[in-house]
Amino acid sequence: MARAVALRITKLVAAKPAAVLGLPTGRTPVRLYAHLRSLFAAGKIDFSRVTTFNLDEFYGLPSDHPASYRSFMEEHLFKHVNLNWRRIHFLNGMDSSPERECRRYEAAIARVGGIDLQILGIGTNGHIGFNEPAPALQSDTHLARLKPETRRSNAMLFDGRVSAVPREALSMGVGTILRARAVVLMANGSRKADAVKATVEGPVTTRMPASLLQLHRNVELILEKAAAPKLHARMR
């Protein structure tokens, strides 16, 4: 799965060296970033003109905090490849005005002409970014409240202490994600099987945020077999 997504990114960047990528953090993309590091070391991908926008960041955490998503990206990708730091975009979790910071982010995405390829992971509850299941969702980048299960699954970044996980985060909205020209959703492990099935075969509902991807015309799911057994559709 990780290799397939890494090759997808490599092909895009070969065809469009100034590609704009939307990137996730979490356990799912760890091996994707390892593959990208190897492809870079082997001279197979050049990030010098690539622009990146990360999906989300904890609110109230400085970017250099070891548990920040920015630190995660530095560790797993940024410090190993030739991305130009001026083209790396992150939400600032310390901005005193989240609304202003979210508007700045949307404007920065628009200024570079939008995201070419948005890579996503998926929560066991079907969240994408920090768009948690709810009766209604916000379209644009916004301040989001994290569900207890999402805080639990982020506890590993905070030495296993759920209480240390911030209660809020800044996140691209589903509208931001749907405006990307192409979306790749990655899922691995049997824990994701129900969410994957609901994403593909369930109704389009804000109670399963990933199901909103059904409204996009260029979405690919790249799954590990363990995440796919409940799908009617056969995997390629």
Cβ 232 to ligand F6R shortest distance, Å: 24
Nearer to ligand F6R, 16 or 152 (CB): 152
125 is catalytic: yes
Nearer to ligand F6R, 49 or 207 (CB): 207
56 is catalytic: yes
Cβ 129 to ligand F6R shortest distance, Å: 4
Query: Of residues 54, 125, 131, 154, which has the active-site annotation?
Result: 125
Interface residues toward ligand F6R, by CB under 6 A: 24-28, 55-56, 121-123, 127-129, 153
Cβ 54 to ligand F6R shortest distance, Å: 7
Nearer to ligand F6R, 73 or 234 (CB): 73
Query: Of residues 35, 76, 127, 142, which has the active-site annotation?
Result: 127
92 is catalytic: no
Quick one: tokens of 170?
């800044």
Nearer to ligand F6R, 51 or 188 (CB): 188
Q: Which residues of 59-74 are buried (b: 16+ CB within 10 A; e: fewer)?
A: bebebebebbbbbbbe
82 is catalytic: no
Cβ 119 to ligand F6R shortest distance, Å: 9
Query: Of residues 57, 132, 142, 188, which has the active-site annotation?
Result: 132
Active-site residues, by number, are 56, 125, 127, 132
